[in-house]
Amino acid sequence: MHKLALLFLVFAVLGCTNKAKKFTPEELPIIILTKGNTWIEGMDSKQDRNLLDNGVKDWTPNEANAKTYFYTTEIREIKIGMLAKADKPTTLKVNFNGKSQSVKISNTELELVSIGSFNIENSGYHTLEITGDDNSSSIDISEIMIGGAATEGKVYFAKDDFYWGRRGPSVHLTYQVPEEASDVLYFYNEINVAEGEDVLGSYFMANGFAEGYFGMQVNGADERRILFSVWSPFKTDNPKDIPEDQQIKMLKKGEGVYTGEFGNEGSGGQSYRKYMWKTGTSYRFLLKAEPAGNNNTDYTAYFFAPEIGEWELIASFRRPKTDTYVKRPHSFLENFHTETGNQTRKGLYSNQWVYDTKGNWHEMTTAKFTADATARKESRMDYAGGAEGTSFFMQNCGFFTGWTTIDSMIEREPLGVAPKIDFSLLP
Give the separation between CA 16 and CA 128, rounded to whole angstroms: 24
pLDDT band, very low/low/confident/very high, at 132 (cuts 50, 70, 90):
very high
Please give the average per-residue pLDDT across 84-98, as a whole number. 96
Residue 18: pLDDT band with limits 50, 70, 90: very low
Kindly state the average pLDDT of the residues 101-129: 97
In this structure, are 256 and 314 located in the same domain?
yes
Contact call for residues 70 and 32 (beta carbons, < 8 A) = yes
Higher pLDDT, 35 or 4: 35
Asked whether residue 18 is domain-assigned, the answer is no
pLDDT grade, residue 46 (50/70/90)? confident
**Cα 213 to Cα 191: distance, rounded to the nearest angstrom:** 14
Domain assignment of residue 119, given as a range? 23-157
The predicted model gives 13-42 an average pLDDT of: 80
**Same domain for 383 and 245?**
yes
CATH of the domain at 139: 2.60.120.260
Q: Could you give the CA distance from residue 281 to residue 215 in angstroms, rounded to a whole number?
A: 14
Q: How high is the mean pLDDT of the chain?
A: 93
217-275: per-residue pLDDT in tens? 999 999 999 999 999 999 887 888 899 999 999 999 999 999 986 655 556 889 999 99
Q: Return the H-helix or E-strand segment holding 9.
A: helix 3-18
- Do the domain assignments include residue 13? no
Contact 156, 80 (CB under 8 A): no
Are 221 and 265 in the same domain? yes
- Does 215 lie in the same domain as 115? no
Which of 208, 248, 199 lies closest to 228 in space, CA to CA?
208
pLDDT attached to residue 20: 60
Decide which of 127, 157, 187 is a domain's last residue.
157
**Structural domain ending residue among the three candidates 106, 123, 157:** 157
Judge if 107 and 223 occupy the same domain: no
Would you place residue 102 in the very low, low, confident or very high pLDDT band (cuts 50, 70, 90)?
very high
Domain boundary among 157, 189, 223: 157
C-alpha–C-alpha distance, residues 162 and 97, integer Å? 24
Provide the domain count of the chain. 2
